Structure 1
């Protein structure tokens, strides 16, 4: 009987630890793996980072130049079920599939006007000083982009090798999974 009680005690402790870990990763911190070279030289392929999930949990805007993890499936509404199904252990088990989470840098917030000319990004008419980018961006556009309400505009630090808001569009705030910690 004593052995059975000891086994039950271990299972109960492991169960409580799992629930606490699950809640922490759902609402507070979560590990993510960088996939690809779009954030070189700041972050590298297969590098792990810890993400502060408070921006996602409390729906607040990240700051300019923050490194964020986004859900790239912007054509669909995110639900609480998505958050539950994306538990970190499942990410490690499915690392071979196409990544849906991208690691990018915040360039524009709601209401910002962005222009891409002379291989540089202009926000609200002012050229950005971006010491973190890998090399000069080889992208220009005559179009002015205005970030809509409740969205952000993101780009990779390796501008010439990045799938970001230039190709996937504006990122809804509920698709910002969190920001890099610290």
Structure 2
């Protein structure tokens, strides 16, 4: 069997998967091009998702790529030499194999190596603006999943230190990913009172910087820089702090926390972590809903793309 590629099949494939369309007409070089180009545009679109203009431009480019590929595939199928034997990868079983291989690679990368997360909350300002894209390292943190499917769980082998930003499954609903600042490791004693953070009875170094001005509301908030080891990060505080005693809910190991009018002191249980938001007075975190179990941690944030 050496039938020429069907022009309309090529167009149909181009609508759904440009890679498959170009393999179908036996053009692997173009297949690679149409694989990388939409991926690049998609990544740029994710980065600028909070920008309506950038989002619209990315969508328009993706549509232009699809239409161009459809026309290109139609032309290549129509002009395919009738005497030329079609390679195995251009036949149905080859196309299925290529699609399966691509899906396997993408799933493996997302599950075991790195995964993007969109962060909509105000709780990590000024470090993470609302709508920012977080690139999370997953390898070494034992919670390997993608597209809602868990493939493997294992103990954490990569280091976590105070000051890291981690992504984790919210303890009350593990389907929801959260991102917070890691403040307390297993066995630590964490105190937060009157806007001051103390870990293991040692005050965390803090210095005031220029006020943070909310770009949308023009609200002026007090900004500080905290230092934990080699990690420095910015936080913001408001004049009125959270009423933690009234906000705190029932959670596992709640008996390890003592709530007072001006703050809270918690002893972090083994295999658990204490996290807080950098927007200290606008963040529901371990002060409110408790500790993060080790097996809930998805990974450590490596890049923040506003």
Normalised TM-score (structure 2): 0.48
- Provide, for residues 37-78 of structure 1, a one-character-per-residue CA deviation record: whole Å limited to 9, x for no partner: 101010111111110012422524521110011111x257x7
Moved over 3 A (4+): 1-5, 139-143
Number of equivalences: 160
Query: Is the CA contact (8 Å cut-off) linking 2:190 and 2:267 kept in structure 1?
Result: yes
Give the corresponding residue for 2:166.
68
Bigger RCO of structures 1 and 2 (CA < 8 A, at least 6 apart): 1
Could you tell me how far apart the structure 2 residues matched to 1:102 and 1:157 are? 13
Q: How does 1:29-178 map to 2 (within 5 A)?
A: 29-57=114-142, 58-60=155-157, 62-72=160-170, 74=171, 100-129=176-205, 130=226, 131-135=233-237, 138-139=241-242, 141-142=259-260, 143-178=264-299
Rg comparison, structure with higher value: 2
**Are residues 1:24 and 2:109 paired?**
yes
- How far 1:144 sits from its partner (Å)? 2.6
Q: Please state whether the residue corresponding to 1:152 is helix, strand or coil.
A: strand
Q: Please state whether the residue corresponding to 1:133 is helix, strand or coil.
A: strand
Looking at secondary structure, tell me which structure has more helix per residue. Answer: 2
Could you tell me how far apart the structure 2 residues matched to 1:41 and 1:16 are? 40
Q: Which runs of 5+ in 1 are unaligned?
A: 79-85, 87-99
Normalised TM-score (structure 1): 0.78
Could you tell me how far apart the structure 1 residues matched to 2:278 and 2:265 are? 21
Q: Please state whether the residue corresponding to 1:13 is helix, strand or coil.
A: helix
Q: Which runs of 5+ in 2 are unaligned?
A: 6-23, 25-87, 143-154, 206-225, 227-232, 245-258
